[in-house]
Amino acid sequence: MRTTDNFFERVWAVAAKVPRGKVTTYGAIARALGSPGAARTVGWAMRAAPAGSQLPCHRVVNATGALSPDDAFGGAGIQQSLLESEGVTFDAQGRVDLKRHLWIP
């Protein structure tokens, strides 16, 4: 089958299920897939996600609420802007308020 056999598709599937105005963490997705330690692999799937897949990867953040690198999404601040547009709030550190928007599959 394709190079993207299972894990990647699972990650994308879960990420696509994240409701608008909410965010999830790589660890949460990895946990949902049955591999709580595969958080890195989840992040890798996001980076390997095909452009134009409409995958809301901007709704996926790490456990600390920090967003993806500035060079991601094609520009710095893009991720935060998108989340803010969806109603997501940030703290003084520019991190997502997981206490309010954390969503787990």
Partner DNA sequence: GCCGTGACGATTC
Partner DNA sequence: CGAATCGCCACGG
Distance, in Å, from the CA atom of 77 to the CA atom of 99, rounded to the nearest integer, reads 21
Among 16, 19, 20, 47, binds DNA (CB under 7 A): 47
According to the binding rule CB under 7 A, does residue 83 interact with DNA? Answer: no
Which CB contacts under 8 angstroms, 24+ apart, belong to 88-94? Answer: 88/21, 88/22, 88/23, 91/65, 93/65, 94/67
According to the binding rule CB under 7 A, does residue 64 interact with DNA? Answer: yes
Active site residues: 57
Among 62, 82, 90, 103, binds DNA (CB under 7 A): 62
According to the binding rule CB under 7 A, does residue 23 interact with DNA? Answer: no
Do the Cβ atoms of 46 and 82 come closer than 8 Å? no
* Number of amino acids touching DNA (CB under 7 A): 35
Dihedral over Cα of 84, 13, 67, 99: its sign: positive
Residue 16 beta carbon to DNA: minimum distance, rounded to whole angstroms: 13
Do the Cβ atoms of 88 and 101 come closer than 8 Å? yes
Q: Can you give the binding site for DNA, defined by CB under 7 A?
A: 3-8, 25-27, 35, 37-44, 46-47, 49, 57-58, 60, 62-64, 66, 68-69, 72-73, 79, 91, 93
